[in-house]
Structure 1
Amino acid sequence: MNDRDFTQFPAPGDRLAPCHPSPDTLALLTRRRSATAITMADPGPSQDQLDHLLGIAARVPDHGKLAPWRFIVFQGDARDSFGRTLGEVFAAATPDATEAQIAFETGRFTRAPLVIAVISTVLERHKVPEWEQILSAGAVCQNLLIAASAMGYGAQWLTEWYAFDPQIKATLGLGSGERIAGFVYVGTVTEEPVERPRPQARVDHWTT
């Protein structure tokens, strides 16, 4: 190991280690647990940390170097303004909704100091299969969860109804071939998450 700063992103053409033995990384992955957005509070990541998070998120397998995803970041007052849109769309679609229900929908994005929308931007009729492009966007979401945890923040990957609502998607400016892979909420956790039951991994060994 030399004295280079390995927290900096490499430049094109840099030679990179083929592996990075790290007990700390293995421990993080072994015990990684999403925090619920409702348990998050300020402070959220600084601007430098946000830039680093997004840079890490983009370091995923990407067949064809298409970068088939983009980000929409919600911070500060932008969370309130978008929340008002959520409340209005919900109220229009749910005529019998109570004021409390509308208020809850309006406040969704204020549950955490930072919300990152990961937009899957599939290039249609491309030689790289759409499924591979979609999987790459999913890997972006997972990288965000892991990087946020490594920075000392809690994170949760959610979709919820507004990820699939046509009016919300239009408001966000989604175009042809674009879908919301998820909203990743990031913030300081006020309650430690509790481990949940997890399914036994299904494993087959090919022997022929």
Structure 2
Amino acid sequence: MTTRNQAALDFLLSRRSRPAKTLTTPVPTRDELGDILTAAARTPDHGKLEPWRFIVLEKPALSRLAKMIPDRAAALDIPDDKLVKAVAQYANADLAIVVVECPVISDKVPEIEQTYSAGAVCLSLLNAALASGWGANWLSGWASHDTTFCRDGLGLAAHERVAGLIHIGTETNAPPERPRPDLTAKTTWVIT
């Protein structure tokens, strides 16, 4: 057993995402994002395929994407309440990092394991931002799963998809603690 890192364990036991709608400026600088992205890239990755990449969206890009959403909502017959929420996710944000899943053809590593790696990057990115003192939230939403929006707005290739958008900024207020899973109901111990 290695030495216990109590500070890291305490952080993980108390970590809490901050709702994206409560985040504001300032946001991390490019230099500050360097450490956060470096930490996120240190994720489980069977075969060292790196089946993911980052797109950093600053305010002008987020505003441009927000303006694309109404046309896509109309084309997809998205209800008004979901349209409003999707526009706000982009229009009200100051910084978001898109984690793009980009699977690599491999005889050794199934695509599902590459999907898991992209999800692990999202969580590592979220935790790195929180550990750095920023507020952060992992979101997706219907627009991030629309291939036309992703192609035209984010420049994704046909084989790529959004694993998540990590919004990062300064939190305006701390959210209340939320109920956590009942571990006795979620855990099975196999002893024989």
TM-score norm. by structure 2 comes to 0.88
**How many Å apart are 1:95 and its aligned residue?**
8.1
| Structure 2 equivalent of residue 84 of structure 1 | 67
**Aligned residues with identical type, % of pairs:** 40
Tell me the residue number matched to 1:144: 125
1:30 equivalenced with 2:29 (yes/no)? no
Q: Does 1:154 align with 2:138?
A: no
**Equivalent position to 1:65, from 33, 36, 48:** 48
* CA distance 1:81–1:184, change in 2 (3 Å): same
Could you say if the C-alpha distance between residues 68 and 20 of structure 1 is closer, same or farther in structure 2, counting changes exceeding 3 Å?
farther
Q: Is the 8 A contact 1:44 1:188 kept in 2?
A: yes
1:96 shift after superposition: 7.4
Deviation at 1:56, TM superposition (A): 1.0
C-alpha deviations, 1:58-112, integer Å up to 9, x for none? 00111111000011110021111111112332244348749xx756543322333
Q: Which residue of 1 aligns with 2:191?
A: 207
TM-score for the superposition, normalised by structure 1: 0.82
Partner in structure 2 of residue 55 of structure 1:
38
- For 1:96 and 1:86, the matched residues in 2 are separated by 12
Superposition RMSD in Å: 2.2
Corresponding residue for residue 21 of structure 1: 4
Q: Secondary structure of 1:180's match? A: strand
Which structure has the greater CA radius of gyration? 1
Per the alignment, residue 174 of structure 1 pairs with 156
Aligned partner of 2:174: which letter?
E
Q: Which runs of 5+ in 1 are unaligned?
A: 1-17
**Matching residue of 1:121:** 102
Query: Quick check: which one's helix share is greater?
Result: 2
Q: Sort the Cα spacing of 1:116 and 1:95 in 2 relative to 1 into closer, same or farther, 3 A.
A: closer
SS at 2:46's partner residue?
Answer: coil
How many residue pairs match? The answer is 189
Change (3 A) 1:204 1:49: same
2:57 corresponding residue in structure 1: 74
The one of 79, 85, 88 equivalent to 1:107 is 88
Q: Say whether the 8 Å CA contact 1:80–1:106 is kept in structure 2.
A: no
2: CA distance, partners of 1:61 / 1:84? 36
The answer to whether the 8 Å contact 2:21/2:92 transfers is: yes
